[in-house]
Amino acid sequence: MAAPQKKRTTKNAQSMAKGQRDISISEFFTKNRHLLGFDSPAKALLTTIKEAVDNSLDACEEAGIQPRLFVEIRSDKPVNLGLELSSQETKPKNGNGKNGGKSGNKEDRFKLIIEDNGPGIVKEQIPKIFGKLLYGSKFHSLKQSRGQQGIGISAAGMYGQLTTGQPVVIYSRTGVDEPAHRFKVKLDMKKNQPTILEGDETIWDKEHGTRIEITLTGSYKRGQHSVDNYLEQTSIANPHVHLTYKNPKGEIALYPNSTDSLPVEPREIKPHPYGVELGILARMLVDTKSRNITAFMKDEFCRVGAKTCENILTEANIPPRRNPRKLGQVDIQRLLDAIEVTKIAAPPTDCLSPIGEELVMAGLKSGVEADFYTSVTRPAAVYRGNPFQIEVGIAYGGNLPGDELAKVIRYANRVPLLYQASACGIHKAVLGASWRNYGVQQSRGALPTAPMVILIHMASVWVPFTSESKEAVAHYPEIIKEMTLALQEAGRQLKRHINRRAREKDALKKQSYIQKYIPYIGEALQEILGIDDVERDEVIATLTDTLERSRKL
Amino acid sequence: MAAPQKKRTTKNAQSMAKGQRDISISEFFTKNRHLLGFDSPAKALLTTIKEAVDNSLDACEEAGIQPRLFVEIRSDKPVNLGLELSSQETKPKNGNGKNGGKSGNKEDRFKLIIEDNGPGIVKEQIPKIFGKLLYGSKFHSLKQSRGQQGIGISAAGMYGQLTTGQPVVIYSRTGVDEPAHRFKVKLDMKKNQPTILEGDETIWDKEHGTRIEITLTGSYKRGQHSVDNYLEQTSIANPHVHLTYKNPKGEIALYPNSTDSLPVEPREIKPHPYGVELGILARMLVDTKSRNITAFMKDEFCRVGAKTCENILTEANIPPRRNPRKLGQVDIQRLLDAIEVTKIAAPPTDCLSPIGEELVMAGLKSGVEADFYTSVTRPAAVYRGNPFQIEVGIAYGGNLPGDELAKVIRYANRVPLLYQASACGIHKAVLGASWRNYGVQQSRGALPTAPMVILIHMASVWVPFTSESKEAVAHYPEIIKEMTLALQEAGRQLKRHINRRAREKDALKKQSYIQKYIPYIGEALQEILGIDDVERDEVIATLTDTLERSRKL
């Protein structure tokens, strides 16, 4: 190591060194809250509900329980501080101070309640799940689920705490023979650790499930980016979910389940060799419990059987009994190069749980009134070693507005994506799908203009989002390509419908045209052939009849 | 606390609990590397250089040293593994395997070298700065700087390690009387801690400075998103920087400094009361060293003097000698409400260091050939308690293409922003500036169409980026508004230029028209007045002369 340092380093390098500090992950995300979807009061409200609903649905499905959810946004006036009257008498609130420099977004205080009939959470886990960022079960596993980072629900709790000082309240019960628990948890922002304010047994009439209450300042709005819209879209893509929603005005919306069968349980898979990188491989080689490189390759990756393994190791010139922990830098590079040139089967795709063509169509029909519906579920494909699958549904015509841009509904692992449409790979795929080929108007660089709703769903063991707030899918070329293929297939079906409609319209036009002239034809024939009025009327009747019959064909 | 739990909890809640784990911040960012700007090989190359250059410039300026930087991208063939020949003989690389499923981006291996003449880094700090995410001096201070998160350079090192297995190599020397050190550092991805492979004294001919070498796989490209373009734009906004750049082809570009004076040293400020939130305030009250609430308010915030403090505390009904650590939830809410309704001066703005109108103009002139240049530096403004300042420069006409969309060059704290233009607040402000008012064509929803380059710079103690990769400014209404005002001011100056040009062109047209008829006027006069040829020519000469003189006016 270095020799002892002399005392004469320049003042600047040393004084700068004094400023260097650790940054806690909670401090980081507090300052960068827009990364998590908390950049405006309206979005904070939506993000919190979204994270809680995602978790509830994941947990129910994992436990094989048909989800019944209750979501409520309740106005929550802060404790009367004896301040409001006097301050309102002397000066109008927001007149002078802080809100002058604010964005003008109206903020109110709400209590959000999300309750499910899921498996509950064992009590030891409750504090960490709700009071610690980057803690969860989904990050380390390759499995299709709504949550993936272990950051969402604790960030929502942190935001509530930041804006109202209130802890997250959790009720949980894991079974009818178990006691229910009520926890109040805060997040220590310097240590990124939970602080338990309360954690006692309680009486709860639910047999099993979880209930969360988060108090925060937010803003309740209607429209495209609203909680209302999010929950409606959730029910379209999750027809097995029974959902009751009460908004701050006390209005209740009920979304009953339209099917009783749960989605196919997605399987967890191992990483595929094509997706691995040098640094990751090096770490896996150190962490493995396998005693030789052959076992390592077969145990830690999917699609590596005896023959494939032999091919790779021969190519890499590594003995099959070699201890994986003894591989050096050069060996690892060799191994990686060998993987690259060896033919390995694509990863298994039964780990995915798409919605399915039938239910996509049923969902669209329940949510959108149109003339024509179609849906396409593509076979599974792979990006960077991760299996994924694309589904598209189209609703067309009916009462949908014909002179507006088509509406695109985006989903990732059954979760609706409401923000950042133009940054999303799904949007890019829709833009690029050459709609004019399918009889639909489209200006350059714009969405198609048509009475149309397009639904796209990406199911994957790992959805690459453009930010932690999970609002847009990153532009991986393999993903865009699959989306394009699905859109084209649905587009061809749409084209057949549009063509048929056009032909029908055309035939109708021709027919009414001919119909109009049939009497004149009759009269002309009468004149030329010298037939009488009865014969003329017979001819007219025959012609009309023929026309009718040809129309029916 | 809870009663001891019975053994009969449902199997599912318990088996799920077993999957719950901590996620290390390095694992998180490895899996989510696109959040840090490493989502493609070309971007990885640019991001690495950008992070290193940002750090070098920040350090030089902080130490009052005029920056001299050397940047090199060197092709780096991996060690010959004895594999290449045989594998190329038997099958073409990329024919079968991995790259079939890849994005098709060509990847090569490069060694990136960034060397500065800055103050150096004291040796104890080197490992953490380069081998630990979320470690740095800028996150906790409100001060205008290029870096702000303590994540960039260590993430770049991590990416290099991930793709090539190579450590970051650092040379550093803090003064002519000090030894130089050479470190080789890796990042332990499970612990988010540095591993020091080497850290010895060495011989280095530099008197003081830092040199970094990072080996990574990337892709070198020209064009809009290139390192070449980034460095050129950096030199435009940083006229005090001397920069030498060597690309992988060995071509050298030199950007000498065009001024010798360093930018004004930005001052660090304290937070402004209007920017504080309940959760943050609660933590500050616990952490403070102040013994009473009056001292707390005056010490921890800017713009809170004796009178303002008295106003706030009276409004909040909190005794001035109260111990800050003793304030309860209700008191804190009261204090916050009182801050909101009290008039407090805007934060100081001399903490900002804008480029200045003169240097913005000089920068544009050095980088863009045009007919007309203008620049505007707005007074400082405030968003969420953070001071910021907007500058705009416009270059117009000359050889710039007139039938293309205007080019927008975006800067945040003097750093060029190359990616995610359409997601950026700067882009939104330019779109919204009603260019037709200033004589410039603009289609609805598009950038103006004109021979024009628009430069916008945002300087702030905290730039709100839309992601950690720092590519786009978030859409805070206060920021967009200031940008719009700056654009409008520059737009009015541009309009005067365009109008003047139009008038000149008009006058020239009239003049050449009159000039053409002067001889005929002469002849007509000769005929009417019966003057001789000499007199006629005199009249023509006088008329021409008058016209010339009127033109000069």
Tell which residue, B348, B297, B351, B368, has the closest CA to residue B327.
Answer: B297
* Partners of A70 in the β-ladder: A115, A244
Identify the architecture of domain B26-78+105-255 in CATH. 2-Layer Sandwich (3.30)
What is the structure's pLDDT at B11? 42
Q: What string of DSSP letters covers A495-549?
A: HHHHHHHHHHHHHHHHHHHHHHHHHHHHHHHHHHH---HHHHHHHHHHHHHHHHH
SS3 A21: strand
What is the structure's pLDDT at B357? 93
pLDDT of residue B119 exceeding 90: yes
SS3 B277: coil
- Among A residues 76-105, those touching chain B with beta carbons less than 8 Å apart: 78-79, 81-83, 87, 91, 93-99, 101-104
Q: Which residue of A has its CA nearest to B64?
A: A12
**Mutation to test the B interface, candidates A12, A339, A481, most B Cβ within 10 Å:** A12
What number is the average pLDDT over the span A163-171? 94
- Please tell me which residue, B547 or B5, carries the higher pLDDT value: B547
Q: Which residue of A has its CA nearest to B103?
A: A477
Residue type at position B211: R
Q: Which residue of B has its CA nearest to A446?
A: B445
Q: Check if the beta carbon of residue A126 is closer than 8 Å to that of residue A187.
A: no
- DSSP code at position B150: S
Measured CA to CA, the distance from residue A187 to residue A164 in angstroms comes to: 13
Quick one: residue B457, left, alpha or beta (phi over 0 = left, psi -120 to 50 = alpha)? Answer: beta
Q: B28 vs A316: CB contact, 8 Å cut-off? A: no
**ipTM given for this complex:** 0.71
Range in A347-351, B231-235, B433-437 with the lowest mean pLDDT: A347-351
SS3 A178: coil
- Among A residues 104-143, those touching chain B with beta carbons less than 8 Å apart: 104, 119-125, 128-129, 134-141
How far B357 CA lies from chain A's nearest CA (Å)?
A: 26
> Which two structure tokens, joined as six digits, stand for A515?
């119909």
Query: Chain B residues with CB inside 8 Å of A121's CB?
Result: 13, 16-17
Q: Check if the beta carbon of residue A412 is closer than 8 Å to that of residue A354.
A: no
Q: Count chain A–chain B contacts defined by CB atoms under 8 A.
A: 346
- Please tell me which residue, A532 or B20, carries the higher pLDDT value: A532
Q: A161 vs B342: CB contact, 8 Å cut-off? A: no
Confidence of residue A230 (pLDDT cuts 50, 70, 90): very high
A8–B contact, CB cutoff 8 A: yes
Highest mean pLDDT range out of A455-464, A483-492, B5-14, B339-348?
A483-492
pLDDT of residue B494 exceeding 50: yes
Average pLDDT over chain B reads: 85
Q: A329 vs B165: CB contact, 8 Å cut-off? A: yes
Q: Which residue of A has its CA nearest to B280?
A: A162
How far B54 CA lies from chain A's nearest CA (Å)?
A: 16
As a dihedral over the C-alpha atoms of residue B273, residue B278, residue B282, residue B288, rounded to 10 degrees, the angle is -10
| pLDDT tens-digit readout, A404-442 | 889 999 999 999 998 888 778 999 999 899 999 999 988
- Among A residues 138-177, those touching chain B with beta carbons less than 8 Å apart: 138-141, 149-151, 158, 161-165, 174-175, 177
B70–A contact, CB cutoff 8 A: no
> Which two structure tokens, joined as six digits, stand for A69?
């959810």
Measured CA to CA, the distance from residue A90 to residue A80 in angstroms comes to: 18
| pLDDT tens-digit readout, A470-479 | 888 988 888 9
pLDDT of residue B163 exceeding 80: yes
Would you identify the CATH topology of the domain A357-498? Ribosomal Protein S5; domain 2 (3.30.230)
What is the structure's pLDDT at A11? 42
How far B129 CA lies from chain A's nearest CA (Å)?
A: 8
B338–A contact, CB cutoff 8 A: yes
Q: Check if the beta carbon of residue A40 is closer than 8 Å to that of residue B205.
A: no
Q: Check if the beta carbon of residue A478 is closer than 8 Å to that of residue A484.
A: no
Q: Which residue of B has its CA nearest to A105?
A: B477
**Mutation to test the B interface, candidates A5, A7, A8, A9, most B Cβ within 10 Å:** A9
- Among A residues 426-455, those touching chain B with beta carbons less than 8 Å apart: none
Range in A334-343, A389-398, A500-509, B194-203 with the lowest mean pLDDT: A500-509
> Which two structure tokens, joined as six digits, stand for A234?
């959730």
Q: Which residue of B has its CA nearest to A200?
A: B2
Q: For residue B17, what are the CA distances in angstroms to A129, A177, A475, B3, B177?
A: 10, 18, 34, 19, 58
Q: For residue B100, what are the CA distances in angstroms to A382, A383, A485?
A: 11, 10, 18
Query: Which distant-in-sequence residues (6+ apart) come within 8 Å of B42 by Cβ?
Result: B105, B218, B219, B220, B221, B225, B226
What number is the average pLDDT over the span A494-503? 93
pLDDT of residue B89 exceeding 50: no
- Please tell me which residue, A495 or B19, carries the higher pLDDT value: A495
Query: Chain A residues with CB inside 8 Å of B8's CB?
Result: 175, 177-178
Query: Chain B residues with CB inside 8 Å of A164's CB?
Result: 278
- Please tell me which residue, A394 or A476, carries the higher pLDDT value: A394
- What percent of chain B clears pLDDT 90, i.e. is strictly above it? 51
Query: Chain B residues with CB inside 8 Å of A277's CB?
Result: 162-163
Q: Which residue of A has its CA nearest to B23?
A: A134
pLDDT of residue B409 exceeding 70: yes
B263–A contact, CB cutoff 8 A: no
- What percent of chain A clears pLDDT 90, i.e. is strictly above it? 51
> Which two structure tokens, joined as six digits, stand for A481?
């390509």
Q: Give me the phi and psi of B502, to 5 degrees please.
A: -65, -45
What is the structure's pLDDT at A6? 35
Question: Residues A276, A339, A332, CA angle at the centre, nearest 5°?
Answer: 70
Query: Which distant-in-sequence residues (6+ apart) come within 8 Å of B172 by Cβ?
Result: B120, B121, B123, B126, B180, B181, B183, B209, B210, B211
Q: Check if the beta carbon of residue B399 is closer than 8 Å to that of residue B372.
A: no
Average pLDDT over chain A reads: 85
How far B542 CA lies from chain A's nearest CA (Å)?
A: 59
Measured CA to CA, the distance from residue A337 to residue A317 in angstroms comes to: 11
Would you identify the CATH topology of the domain B273-341? Helicase, Ruva Protein; domain 3 (1.10.8)
Q: CB-based burial of residue B473 (10 Å sphere; 0-12 exposed, 13-18 middle, 19+ buried)? A: buried
| pLDDT tens-digit readout, B332-362 | 989 999 998 999 998 887 889 899 999 999 8
- Among A residues 480-539, those touching chain B with beta carbons less than 8 Å apart: none
B323–A contact, CB cutoff 8 A: no
What is the structure's pLDDT at B99? 40
Query: Chain A residues with CB inside 8 Å of B329's CB?
Result: 165
Query: Chain A residues with CB inside 8 Å of B163's CB?
Result: 277-279
Residue type at position B263: P
Confidence of residue A513 (pLDDT cuts 50, 70, 90): confident
Query: Which distant-in-sequence residues (6+ apart) come within 8 Å of A351 by Cβ?
Result: A142, A143, A144, A266, A267, A268, A269, A387, A461
> Which two structure tokens, joined as six digits, stand for B297?
């308010």
Measured CA to CA, the distance from residue A250 to residue A457 in angstroms comes to: 32
B6–A contact, CB cutoff 8 A: yes
Question: Considering CB atoms only, which of A19, A103, A420 is closest to B137?
Answer: A19
What number is the average pLDDT over the span B502-525? 79
pLDDT of residue A325 exceeding 80: yes
Residue type at position B350: D
Query: Chain A residues with CB inside 8 Å of B343's CB?
Result: 96-97
Q: B139 vs A87: CB contact, 8 Å cut-off? A: no
Q: For residue A413, what are the CA distances in angstroms to A224, A389, B48?
A: 20, 10, 33
Range in A163-172, B131-140, B445-454 with the lowest mean pLDDT: B131-140
B8–A contact, CB cutoff 8 A: yes
User: How many residues are listed for chain A in this entry?
Assistant: 553
pLDDT of residue B312 exceeding 50: yes
Q: What string of DSSP letters covers A179-197?
A: -EEEEEEEEETTTTEEEEE
| pLDDT tens-digit readout, A98-113 | 443 333 446 789 999 9
What number is the average pLDDT over the span A497-512? 86
What is the structure's pLDDT at B98? 43
B383–A contact, CB cutoff 8 A: yes
What is the structure's pLDDT at B505? 87
Range in A387-391, B143-147, B368-372, B402-406 with the lowest mean pLDDT: B143-147
Measured CA to CA, the distance from residue A250 to residue A245 in angstroms comes to: 9
What is the structure's pLDDT at B40? 80
Query: Chain B residues with CB inside 8 Å of A340's CB?
Result: 93-94, 97-99
Measured CA to CA, the distance from residue A252 to residue B245 in angstroms comes to: 64
What is the structure's pLDDT at A498? 94
Question: Residues B375, B381, B382, CA angle at the centre, nearest 5°?
Answer: 145
Query: Chain A residues with CB inside 8 Å of B5's CB?
Result: 122-123, 178-179
- DSSP code at position A343: -
Q: B83 vs A334: CB contact, 8 Å cut-off? A: yes
A299–B contact, CB cutoff 8 A: no
Tell which residue, A379, A401, A405, has the closest CA to residue A390.
Answer: A379
What is the structure's pLDDT at B413? 92
What number is the average pLDDT over the span B448-458? 95
What is the structure's pLDDT at A290? 93
Confidence of residue A346 (pLDDT cuts 50, 70, 90): confident
Question: Considering CB atoms only, which of B81, B190, B343 is closest to A97?
Answer: B343
Q: B128 vs A6: CB contact, 8 Å cut-off? A: no
Q: A340 vs B104: CB contact, 8 Å cut-off? A: no
> Which two structure tokens, joined as six digits, stand for B325?
């650590």
Q: A3 vs B476: CB contact, 8 Å cut-off? A: no
pLDDT of residue B552 exceeding 70: no
CATH 3.30.565.10 fits A26-77+104-255, yes or no: yes
Tell which residue, B393, B381, B394, has the closest CA to residue B460.
Answer: B381
Place of tokens 């021709």: A510
Q: What string of DSSP letters covers A56-78?
A: HHHHHHHTT---EEEEEEEE-PP
